Amino acid sequence: MAGKYYTGTGDKGDTGLLANHRVSKGDVLIEAIGNIDELNSYIGIALFHVRNDQVRAMLKHIQNELFIIGANLASGDGKKIDKAIIDEKAIVRLEENLEKLSSQLPPLKQFVIPGGCDGAVHLHFARALARRAERRIVSVSEKYEHDRRVIAYINRLSSFLFVAALYLNFSEGIEEEHPTY
């Protein structure tokens, strides 16, 4: 007999956190966790469209780290959960990947209109989702104690997604479009 894929415990509009207490599904913390889940899901869509193996490997690693961030936020009260820690190494790895890709790009002198090849379009959208998640996590930090490295990681992630989109366009010979004022 298969296990149930639902509990019914949230039918009254609340949900459980890893710290064994419940909060409203409308709480800013749950919204932030949902933003991370949405971002992770969208990176899964982007993976379907990104053909560059180097960028794909980076994105797969990021997906795992987003699960860690979700668990970190779900601690709800700043408790350290051993498996839910984003350490400095994760942030440094994002920075190194940013440098690896950006070192192959021409200097950026103007704003970029999101677009280009199939993979880049999806990474641009993922970047916007990362920025929204970051804003929500900042709101969470005003109400809950949590690991501040999460904000740094998401901030760096949005930069990585932007550079990865530029890299995909550049590697496919697609010129970036820029706004005219």
User: Could you give the CA distance from residue 140 to residue 23 in angstroms, rounded to a whole number?
Assistant: 13
Of residues 32, 31, 15, the one with CA closest to residue 23: 15
pLDDT tens digits for 26-77?
A: 999 999 999 999 999 999 999 999 999 999 999 999 999 999 999 889 886 6
How many beta carbons lie within 10 A of that of residue 82, not counting itself? Answer: 5
How many beta carbons lie within 10 A of that of residue 154, not counting itself? Answer: 26
Among 64-68, 107-111, 121-125, the range of highest mean pLDDT: 121-125
Helix (H) and strand (E) counts in the chain: 5, 2
Residue appearing with tokens 């296990």: 3
Domain ranges across the chain: 22-171
Of residues 139, 127, 19, 147, the one with CA closest to residue 87: 147
How many beta carbons lie within 10 A of that of residue 145, not counting itself? Answer: 12
pTM, two decimals, is 0.92
User: Could you give the CA distance from residue 56 to residue 62 in angstroms, rounded to a whole number?
Assistant: 10
pLDDT tens digits for 132-147?
A: 999 999 999 988 877 7
CATH architecture of 22-171: Up-down Bundle (1.20)
